[in-house]
Amino acid sequence: MMRHSFLLLLLFAFGLAQAERPAQPETASGIGVVKEARGRLFMAVTAHPLATDAAVEILRAGGTAADAAIAAQLVLNLVEPQSSGLGGGGFLLYHDARTNRLRAYDGRETAPASAQRGRFLDAEGKPLPFQEAMVGGLAVGVPGLPALLDLVYRNHGRMLWPKLFAPALRLAVEGFPLSPRLYKLLAEDRYLRDDAAARRLYYEADGKPKAVGTKIVNREFGFVLLALAQHGTKLFYEGPIARDIVAAVRAPHAKNPGDLSEADLAAYKPIEREPLCGERLGHRVCGMPPPSSGGLAVLQTLTFSAELAGRMPLAAESVHHFAESGRLTFADRARYLADPGFVDMPVRALLDPAYLTARKALIRAEASMGRAAAGELPAQQSFGEEASAELPATTHLSIVDAEGNAVSLTSSIEAAFGSRIMVHGFLLNNQLTDFSFRPEEEGRPVANRVEAGKRPLSSMAPTVIYGRDGRVVALVGSPGGSRIINYVAQAVLGLLAWNLSPGEAVALPHYGSRNGPTELERGTAAVQLRPALERRGHTVTVQDMTSGLSVIQRRGDDWVGAADPRREGTARAE
């Protein structure tokens, strides 16, 4: 089979790319070297070296994968503030080695109780431009991450709760060096400087970002960490922190004050859901159910792409087939998926083998289908197609501990730096822009429309893969907005269909379709396939595709882990 580490690195180094450069909320910071590690005892892969160090510190001290994930996530709030944090939410899969059971935890944000369906419509009933909606309190949902971490700790933690805060607390008080990636994002952002607290923390008096390597001391966040370590996350949802969050959201930030209330915060609850699993490529692949579309969409895409096993990942026919698979997947996603607490989710029907076989038959080897229509489901309410931006400011971590417990956690504040509102040293999300701005489409309700207390649809796709013997064989996940689905599906194909190592899988040039143009990753050899794809009728765009894959795979008696070379992540093992 295929073992092309050196070839793949050469393809990255010498790939061709010519196209207009569209703006991305969390842009590329260059493609570096693949960061792969191997160990027998435990493995941690996160989006930043200091977060990986925190996970290793906890694992060495005898903590579980849950303990390590909590410590790493708290550090990420500090060192990668554009991507995730206490002001956001996430989805977490936990494999419990003692019970051999996979558990799925939903920490997605919720809309305030006062939210109305026309929240993101202008006076004429037209959807607001995204750039107008995303900054300020109107886009802020009730944060779910603190409650999610608390629930996972109570079910799976072992170390004393305060000890999990120690690595982040040290960095908050003593400082951490501002990284090149964070510097680049700070320099590019148009809005963050307008928040006084964020400006003091990250910028010089002249408005330029502090230099790379500058020690960032965030004592205000340190006080929050200390309070939560001593008193638990209830303090986040009730009391002074909650009051300050509400005050910041309701303040007149430009023209977008929000309507979040203290009652909204006090009422928030994370939800344990049933994982969504299916047999694919000789393995059991498991992900999150709705309101994440990630689990279902990855399973659909893998079904449509199964015959790519044994083919070359960068052959034109492989890219064509994978892009066509994505069209079918994203068509169904846009029509049917939303918060199951508000809309009946036809998950079983969308994964029915007969339905998937009929959908797959629409893929033609010689020509693109263009834009796919959603499949028709019997006795299913007719919905309009949703339209949400879902921007790629997210993070992912994968951890396996010495006992075989495993965590796959994807968390986010939505756009880079979220709503650009900082409270007590952390940024608040703008996840409500993940709802469809249009509540109706051609007279039909949109499943993912804004409603009070509802969780917006997500593409976050933390994934756990089991072998035929029932043991965990791999963990996969990535940031990247709605592209997460294609990133994760491609990485799973890399591991299971193309026999690539984790390092090779995360380094594959990206390609795919979200039921629009076929997207090829700038600066990689995938771009050379553009003429061949256009001859098949594809409309092709070349873009930065800033994934942040974290992959762990069991190889023999060892764990092998790799962090995406497009970001600053690292893998460490013992």
CA distance 485 to 88: 20
- The CATH fold assigned to 5-37+47-269+392-450+459-573 is Glutamine Phosphoribosylpyrophosphate, subunit 1, domain 1 (3.60.20)
The position carrying tokens 């990247």 is: 480
Confidence (pLDDT) at 6: 30
| pLDDT, mean of residues 215-239 | 97
The closest of 242, 281, 282, 247 to 265, measured between CA atoms, is 242
- Amino acid residing at 3: R
The first and second tokens of residue 290, run together, are 């709705």
Of 121-125, 318-322, 376-380, 473-477, give the lowest mean pLDDT range: 376-380
Question: Is 276 in contact with 263 (CB distance < 8 Å)?
Answer: no
CB contact set of 433 (below 8 Å; sequence gap of 6+):
120, 130, 133, 134, 139, 388, 389, 391, 414, 415
User: 383: pLDDT confidence band, cut at 50, 70 and 90?
Assistant: low
- Catalytic (active site) residue 394: yes
Question: Rounded to two decimals, what is the model's pTM?
Answer: 0.93
Running DSSP on this structure, what letter comes out for residue 428?
P
pLDDT of residue 3: 42
pLDDT higher than threshold 80 for residue 379: no
Q: Are strands 540-543 and 518-521 parallel, antiparallel or unpaired?
A: parallel
For tokens 């964020």, name the residue.
198
- Confidence class of residue 152 from pLDDT cuts 50, 70 and 90? very high
pLDDT computed for residue 167 by the predictor: 98
pLDDT at 170 over 60: yes
State the residue for tokens 């500090």: 78
- In this structure, what token pair is assigned to residue 286? 């498991």
Which two structure tokens, joined as six digits, stand for 148? Answer: 């999610």
Q: What average pLDDT is seen over the chain?
A: 92
Question: What is the model's pLDDT at position 259?
Answer: 95
Checking if the pLDDT of 388 tops 70, the result is no
Report the pLDDT value the prediction gives residue 34, as an integer from 0 to 100: 79
Model confidence at 384, pLDDT cuts 50, 70, 90, reads low
Instruction: Give residue-wise pLDDT tens across range 1-56.
Output: 334 333 333 233 223 222 222 334 444 445 667 779 999 999 999 999 999 999 99
- pLDDT at residue 11, rounded to an integer: 31
pLDDT, residue 387, reads 56
Cβ 450 vs Cβ 111: under 8 Å: yes
Give the residue among 110, 145, 128, 73 at the shortest CA–CA distance from 431.
Answer: 110
Q: Where are the domains of the chain?
A: 5-37+47-269+392-450+459-573
Tokens coding 278: 């299916």
Judged by DSSP in three states, 333 sits in helix
For helices 219-231 and 65-79, the axis angle rounded to 10 degrees is 160
Per-residue pLDDT at 15: 32
Q: Is residue 479 within 8 Å of 566, Cβ to Cβ?
A: no
Place of tokens 């396939």: 529
Q: Quick check: 1 and 498 in contact, CB under 8 A?
A: yes
> What is the share, in percent, of the chain residues with pLDDT greater than 70?
91
Alpha helices in 361-402 (DSSP H): none
Strands 406-414 and 393-400: antiparallel
The DSSP code for 527 is G
In this prediction, residue 22 carries a pLDDT of 31
Q: 432-472, pLDDT tens digit by residue?
A: 999 999 998 878 899 999 999 999 999 999 999 999 999 99
pLDDT exceeds cutoff 70 at 395: yes
- Please enumerate in sequence order all residues whose Cβ is within 8 A of that of 357, keeping only pairs 6 or more positions apart, or say none: none
pLDDT, one tens digit per residue, over 406-437 is 999 999 999 899 999 999 999 999 999 999 99
Q: Which of 110, 394, 463, 570 is catalytic?
A: 394
For residues 139-144, give the mean pLDDT.
98
What pLDDT is stored for residue 279 in this prediction? Answer: 98
- Helix then strand then coil, in percent of the chain rounded to 5, is 35, 20, 45
Note the Cα 97 to chain centre separation in Å: 25
CA 104 to the chain's CA centroid: 15
Residues 531-548: tens digit of each pLDDT: 999 999 999 999 999 999
Residue 65: pLDDT band by 50, 70, 90 thresholds?
Answer: very high
Which pLDDT belongs to residue 450?
97
Tell me the pLDDT tens digit for each residue of 235-275: 999 999 999 999 999 997 667 899 999 999 999 999 999 99
- Res 131: pLDDT: 86
Q: Angle between the 294-304 and 353-360 helix axes, to the nearest 10 degrees? A: 60
Contact by Cβ (8 Å): 438, 494: no
Percent of the chain with pLDDT over 90: 88
CA atoms within 13 A on the CB side of 60: 9
How would you write 219-279 as a 3-class SS string? HHHHHHHHHHHHHCCHHHHCCHHHHHHHHHHHCCCCCCCCCCCHHHHHHCCCEEECCEEEE
